[in-house]
Amino acid sequence: MTSGMRVTKLSAIDIDEQEAKEISMQDYSEQQLSVFSSSTRLLGDRRYAKRRPYLPENIHSIPTILDVSPPRKLSAEDPERWWLSFQFRGSIVFGAYVAFPYILQLVAQAVDVTDDLNYLVSSFIPSVSILFGTLCSLTVNILYSRQARLQQTVSEEASLLSQLTQDLLHLLRRPEHSEHKKRAAQAAADYVATLVGDSRGVEIMKVVISDPIMQMTDTVVAFEQYCEDKGTDLQAAGALVSSLRSNLSEIGVLRARRLSDEALALPPTHFGLLALLSGLILAAFILTSLGSVDMSSGMANPSIESRVLFSVISGVYTLFFNFSRDLNQPFGGVYQIRRSQTASYLLKTKRIITSAGLAQDVNFGYGEDGSRIQ
């Protein structure tokens, strides 16, 4: 169902008409989407579960606890967690401690230390510190809330998908509905495959071109049409049809909410502002320290306390900056969303499909060699 999908038309977002025409009749992929991904955050690693259970050779395998573990576990040597290492933090603190006298020496040659300067700096520090603290609090609150919403939404979405799959296969259990049953199962498999192996941009394009929710809805409509053509009342199936329509509408809302949260990453300007405010506070500390440094020997000789304080502040600000950048990537780095519950519901959906005897009629978007197919 997913193979051979074609794009009939793409809107020209950040591309001119000629480029749009060149893309319009091609199989869409991340290469085509990368034309405008930088401004819309359409691309990037986004996986809610491991791919291994959905490869053709593992379709009938019994799930294990390893199948619901994180898609990629970071090791101690992973570059994404280098900023948490003792070596990184130690080098920042030690480097600031050693560099502090030389920084004071350079600043002293360019700045005349006066009472007016000390007064201005003393008046300047509190306002910048308050602004910096407010921005830090806002940053953490936004990013933590985003991860919490995303984790809850995708868990509810995956749970509802498994329920929808079970209800649809039950509704279409009769032999005369076998084709629609296969179509519904494939739509559910496409939904799972999208969460497991596709980027946000690919999912958005599938919503436009070949929406799994719409395909599942079509099978419900086909069942209703069959009953109408036969002149039979829905009877007991009416409650199930009503429930299916309600759940299909709800899962569409959950998907829209999830896609919206996935796109709510803080822009680089936000982190640039954090770095700027950190630099201003450190600069104010340096200017304040000039008044208490003995320069009679021609070399700055600050106290041990001021050097330690400067190095600790530098280390803390650097650590918070990297922490915020890491938190801004919910699918990478150290602070990732927890996906075991979502992965378990996706595995449940796969088991529902295979238990219905449809394993040979459905694919989860992976070829025999394990490559992703569209």
Quote the pLDDT of residue 39: 42
How sure is the predictor about 211, in pLDDT bands with cuts at 50, 70 and 90? very high
Quote the pLDDT of residue 107: 83
Q: Is 372 helix (H, G, I), strand (E, B) or coil?
A: strand
Quote the pLDDT of residue 34: 52
Please check the confidence at residue 24 and state whether its pLDDT lies above 60: no
How many residues are recorded in the chain?
Answer: 374
Q: What is the mean pLDDT of residues 22-34?
A: 46
Q: What is the mean pLDDT of residues 296-300?
A: 64
Instruction: Read off the pLDDT of residues 102-130 as tens digits, 9 standing for 90 and up.
Output: 888 888 877 776 666 677 777 888 888 99
DSSP single-letter state for residue 61: S
For the record, the structure tokens of 289 come out as 């320290």
Q: What percent of the chain is modeled with pLDDT above 90?
A: 42
Lowest mean pLDDT among 81-95, 113-127, 206-220: 113-127
Helix H or strand E segment including 291: none
Higher pLDDT, 310 or 367: 310
Quote the pLDDT of residue 350: 95
What values do phi and psi take at 71, rounded to 5?
-55, -35
Please check the confidence at residue 296 and state whether its pLDDT lies above 70: no
Among 194, 207, 203, 251, smallest CA distance to 49 is for: 194
Quote the pLDDT of residue 7: 35
Please check the confidence at residue 35 and state whether its pLDDT lies above 70: no
Please check the confidence at residue 90 and state whether its pLDDT lies above 80: yes
How sure is the predictor about 73, in pLDDT bands with cuts at 50, 70 and 90? low
Instruction: Read off the pLDDT of residues 231-280 as tens digits, 9 standing for 90 and up.
Output: 777 677 888 999 999 999 999 999 999 999 988 888 888 999 999 999 99
Quote the pLDDT of residue 156: 96
Return all residues near 141 (Cβ < 8 A) that are at least 6 apart.
none
Quote the pLDDT of residue 229: 82
How sure is the predictor about 310, in pLDDT bands with cuts at 50, 70 and 90? very high
Q: Is 8 helix (H, G, I), strand (E, B) or coil?
A: coil
How sure is the predictor about 6, in pLDDT bands with cuts at 50, 70 and 90? very low
Q: What is the mean pLDDT of residues 194-218?
A: 90
Quote the pLDDT of residue 227: 85
Q: What percent of the chain is modeled with pLDDT above 70?
A: 82
Please check the confidence at residue 305 and state whether its pLDDT lies above 80: yes
Instruction: Read off the pLDDT of residues 323-348 as tens digits, 9 standing for 90 and up.
Output: 999 898 888 888 888 889 999 999 99
Quote the pLDDT of residue 46: 83
Quote the pLDDT of residue 331: 86
Please check the confidence at residue 293 and state whether its pLDDT lies above 90: no
Q: Report the distance separating Cα 347 and Cα 363, nearest Å.
A: 14
Q: What is the mean pLDDT of residues 161-187?
A: 94
For the record, the structure tokens of 276 come out as 């700027």
How sure is the predictor about 16, in pLDDT bands with cuts at 50, 70 and 90? very low
Quote the pLDDT of residue 113: 65
DSSP single-letter state for residue 299: S
Q: Is 71 helix (H, G, I), strand (E, B) or coil?
A: coil
